[in-house]
Amino acid sequence: MPPRLQPTARQVRLGAELRKLRDAAGLRAREAAALLGSNSVQMSHIESGIAGVSEERVRRLAAHYSCTDEGLLSALVTMATERTRGWWDEYRDLLPQPFLDLAELEHHASYRWDVDFLHVPGLLQTEDYALALFSYVNPEFPKSDVERWVEHRMKRTVIIERPDPIPYETVIHEAALRIRVGDRAAARAQLARVLELSEADHVTVRVIPFDLDGFAGAGSAMVYAGGPVPKLDTVVRDGPNGPAFIDAEAQLGRYRTLFRRVEAASLEPERSRDLILRMTKEL
């Protein structure tokens, strides 16, 4: 099988997790490669996501690494053997790889938490809001390209609108809800959309009001995507070239704590809906 020219974040994550297991076992790359009848170059390609790896090889490596976490092993096998192409592949000619990776991450997530301060979270955006946002941020893009970016964003909402939606929690600052990305009508429709989705059993929307004392924020917008096991959770933060993916165990723990702190500072869901309803009436 030829090397991948541009492995996805999911493929890179699989290799990284195999490398973590090898490091924990105290084995060098050439020693692990020997277990597969391979060489250190091939092992490097596997651990960087450039080369695929079979279920049999994943299980053989895990056995020699003394991995006893059956949940983790099962998840790694699934990552190694899934070959289906997702709907996001339709946009490979237009979107940078990190945005495709984000859609794939969401597709496989077991739950998701969001924190936003300047914009309504992507999963809650209306088409008009997303169109106004992308048009403003990318004025040089042809209209057809902007429309496809918006189309991609709208398709991502499937994870909270399908028959088996994932649990979704979001904390939004009042500023993000009051900023008029589009016109007054679009702003009113956007608030109505947030209110509508907040009524779903699997969706929790909390708002941080302007008049909260002692709140210093969380640095920037944050997405926390739950994996099949906690070790495979992922944090996504905005980077200069698009979404940046974070998976180091210590950092995951830090961001879990950060989300809960921000959540604790926000209004309860019912009071959050009341505030959003008041904002809607003001428009």
Q: What is the DSSP letter of 138?
A: -
**Structure confidence by residue, pLDDT tens digits, 158-187:** 999 999 999 999 999 999 999 999 899 999
Give the model's confidence band at 242: pLDDT under 50 very low, under 70 low, under 90 confident, else very high: confident
- Report which DSSP code applies to 113: E
Distance, in Å, from the CA atom of 257 to the CA atom of 277, rounded to the nearest integer, reads 30
Beta strands at 242-246 and 234-239: parallel, antiparallel or unpaired: antiparallel
pLDDT for position 212: 86
pLDDT band for 251, please (50, 70, 90 cuts): very high
pLDDT value, residue 2: 64
The answer to whether 173 and 117 are in contact (CB under 8 A) is: yes
Question: Looking at the domain covering 9-81, what would its CATH class be?
Answer: mainly alpha
Residue 84 has pLDDT above 80, yes or no: no
The residue extents of the domains of the chain are: 9-81, 89-282
Lowest mean pLDDT among 34-38, 123-127, 219-223: 219-223
For residue 119, give the nearest of 46, 16, 194, 204 by alpha carbon: 194
Distance separating alpha carbons of residues 128 and 86, to the nearest angstrom: 25
Contact 104, 234 (CB under 8 A): no
**In DSSP terms, which residues pair with 112 in a beta bridge?**
168, 225
Residue 1, pLDDT > 60, answer no
Instruction: Take residue 91 and report the two structure tokens written for it.
Output: 């946009």
The CATH architecture that domain 89-282 belongs to is 2-Layer Sandwich (3.30)
What mean pLDDT is predicted for residues 82-100? Answer: 91
Strands 111-116 and 222-226: antiparallel
Residue by residue, DSSP assigns 190-252 as HHHHHHHHHTSTTEEEEEE-TT-TT----SS-EEEEE-SSGGG-EEEEEETTEEEEE--HHHH
Which of 99-108, 173-182, 203-212, 241-250 is least confident?
A: 241-250
Give dist(CA 134, CA 179) in Å, integer: 15
Supply the pLDDT for residue 71.
Answer: 96
Give the residue from 15, 16, 32, 36 showing the smallest Cα distance to 80. Answer: 15
Find out whether 220 and 235 touch, Cβ atoms under 8 Å: no
Contact of 146 with 135, CB cutoff 8 Å: yes
CA distances from 180 to 175, 189, 190 (A): 10, 11, 10
**Per-residue pLDDT at 269:** 97
Cα distance between residue 263 and residue 7, in whole Å: 34
pLDDT at position 47 over 60: yes
pLDDT of residue 217: 67
DSSP 8-state symbol, 10:
H
Average pLDDT on 145-153 reads: 95
Q: Whole-number mean pLDDT of the chain?
A: 93
For residue 281, pLDDT over 60 is answered with yes
Q: Tens digit of pLDDT for each residue in 206-221?
A: 999 998 887 766 667 8
Under 8 Å between Cβ of 8 and 97: yes
Q: From edge to edge, which strands make up the β-sheet containing 203-208? A: 203-208, 168-173, 111-116, 222-226, 234-239, 242-246
Q: Measuring CA to CA, how many Å separate 275 from each of 103, 147, 178, 211?
A: 31, 32, 11, 12
